[in-house]
Amino acid sequence: MIKLLHKVSTTLLLALMGVAGLYDFIGHKAVLKYSAHLGYPDYFIHWVGACKLIGVLVFLIKPTLRAKEWIYAGFIFDMGSGFVSHLSCHDPLNITLLPVFGIFLWSISYFSYRFMENKTKH
């Protein structure tokens, strides 16, 4: 059951980060407009998009345990920062809670991964 939960949550998380990364990287008009509202310069959004895409690609090619931890760290930093940015700008609740969905997926994926890793060590 844990393995299935991990696979589903990780697949959804990687899809979310991949699509978001692609939109950020190519500089989609809506992304750049909203990012400017949050106070971020365009070049930063392209950089964040590239990092998301690299994280997704590395995750898909079976990274080392240390690389996987860094990818998870980057993803949670991105989504947590997004949540705080939306809160700081007093965005509507439906916009502010979007990163929370990603954080929810991240939590299931990461903690099920840690559970399975700890189980294999004993």
Give per-residue pLDDT as tens, 65-97: 899 999 999 999 999 999 999 999 999 999 999
Higher-confidence position of 23 and 64: 23
Kindly state the average pLDDT of the residues 46-67: 94
Number of domains the chain contains? 1
- Residue span of the structural domain in which 41 resides: 2-121
Is the pTM higher than 0.85? Answer: yes
Tokens of 71: 């990818």
